[in-house]
Structure 1
Amino acid sequence: MAARLPSWAWVTGLTTGATAVVVALAVQADAGPHPTAAVARPSTSASASPHATLTPEAPAEDALPDGSGEGRRIVYSLGEKRVWLVDATGRATRTFTVWPGTVSPQPGRYSVTLRTQSLKGSDGVEIEHVMYFTKADGVNIAFSNALDGASPPPANGQKLGGIRLHKEDGAALWAFGDQGTRVAVVK
């Protein structure tokens, strides 16, 4: 007569197998292409339909700045106070305005050096989706958004390097940029 395995052995075996499958799928997903965030903008034409017509194309005034590089990257314009997420083909997939800190990076080419899910900013505000890419005037420069979605308070003479985003834009940037993602800062 064959010995029966106890129920705990079955549960342990099934759990171990399921965990191995999930880990294998996660490794495959991480090695694959990373999705790019897209933005939907309402069309400028009026419609009698109760549903708005959406188009993923950015208006001409939000066009990607010339000389911002090539390939997949984050572009930050100091003058326009705007960020573009650019896919591998060089097409801007999303653009949005930002609130710069009191210390700005120099125009140039950088890359994301550190990502932190959340922390308290140097201005005392709880922030998330923090992506550091350079240092200027002794201050770390990073993209982030306030946990509550608020714009940054006045600086009151503080040296702040945080480039604050709207909450949904912070989430899109976080999904787009990993450590090592290129950042182009333009005038």
Structure 2
Amino acid sequence: MAARLPSWAWVSGLTAGATAAVVALAVQANHGPHPTAATAKPSASASAGAHGPAEPKKPSGPPALPQESGTGRRVVYSLGEKRVWLVDATGKANRTFTVWPGTVGPQPGRYSVTLRIQSIKGSDGVQIEHVMYFTKASGVNIAFSNALDGASPPPANGQKLGGIRMHKEDGAALWAFGDQGTRVTVVN
């Protein structure tokens, strides 16, 4: 007479076998051909007929330099777009990037960089670098900078802060672009 196996042994054996089969099939599937989906784009006439008139294509890339931002070599800062453009002497924007403004901002107008400091502790207690001061508003110094560790600024918790923070690589680019006296144009 044969010894009878307990039911847990059968379940464990079947589970182990099924797991091994699934792993084997997954390895085989990984080595086989991978199908790709065809990406057919509907023609403009097909889109217009089925869904109404075709939508105009939105421009790709960063926003254009604001029209009323002056001429010549300058830094342009848009309050509304929270964006900076570095503009060469021919009027071409060579770089643009987004920023995190402080709680106190400058008024629209024309300024120039008055002081540059390589590294300092910001008024919010964060170590910052590439600090470029260009005006004062409500008794607070307004300056471009980036956090030394590259982090975005934390919420201000009611503090009056005039730092306009940016990513570390953008801070380095702005620092290389602007010396003391470089023009800064602030637009809405």
> Normalising by the residue count of structure 1, what TM-score does the alignment of the two structures yield?
0.68
Q: Which residue of 1 aligns with 2:11?
A: none
Show the 5 A alignment for 1:126-165: 126-165=127-166
Structure 1 equivalent of residue 40 of structure 2: none
State the AA in 1 paired with 2:78: S
Matched letter for residue 91 of structure 2? G
Task: List runs of 5+ in structure 1 lacking aligned partners.
Answer: 1-57
Counterpart in 2 of 1:98? 99
CA distance, structure 2, for counterparts of residue 185 and residue 118 of structure 1: 24
1:78 aligned residue: 79
Q: 1:108 to 1:95 in 2, by over 3 A?
A: same
Summarize the Cα distance change of 1:95–1:61 in structure 2 as closer, same or farther, 3 Å threshold. Answer: closer
Change (3 A) 1:61 1:128: closer
Question: In the alignment, does 2:143 pair up with 1:180?
Answer: no
Distance 1:95 1:62 in 2: 8
CA contact (8 A) 2:62 2:96 kept: no
* Deviation, structure 1 residue 62: 1.2
Give the deviation of 1:117 after TM superposition: 0.2
Q: Closer, same or farther in 2 for the Cα pair 1:100/1:136, shift >3 Å? A: same
Once residues 60 and 78 of structure 2 are traced to their aligned partners in structure 1, the CA distance between those partners, rounded to angstroms, is 16
* 1: CA distance, partners of 2:134 / 2:179: 11
Q: How many residues align?
A: 130
Q: Secondary structure at the match of 1:173?
A: helix
Structure 2, gaps ≥5 residues long: 1-58
Structure 1: distance between partners of 2:123 and 2:62: 33
Q: Distance in 2 between matches of 1:156 and 1:165?
A: 19
After the TM superposition, which residues 1-187 of structure 1 pair with which residues of structure 2 at under 5 Å, given as runs?
59=60, 61-187=62-188
**Separation in structure 2 between the aligned mates of residue 69 and residue 175 of structure 1, nearest angstrom:** 21
Higher alpha-carbon Rg = 2
Matched AA of 2:94:
T
Q: Any runs of at least 4 consecutive aligned residues in structure 1 with deviations exceeding 6 A, and if so which?
A: none
**Separation in 1, partners of 2:60, 2:114:** 31
Aligned counterparts of 1:60 and 1:158: Cα–Cα separation in 2? 34
Q: Distance in 1 between matches of 2:72 and 2:179?
A: 15
2:83/2:98 contact within 8 Å kept: yes
**Judging changes above 3 Å, is the alpha-carbon distance between structure 1 residues 162 and 85 closer, same or farther for their aligned structure 2 residues?**
same
TM-superposed deviation, 1:60: 5.6
CA distance in 1, matches of 2:127, 2:62: 32
Q: Please give the root-mean-square deviation of Cα atoms over the aligned residues, in Å.
A: 1.2
How far off is 1:150 after superposition? 0.2
Rounded to whole Å, the distance in 1 between the matches of 2:79 and 2:167 is 17
Aligned-pair CA distance for 1:77: 0.1
Give me the TM-score of the superposition, normalised by structure 2: 0.68
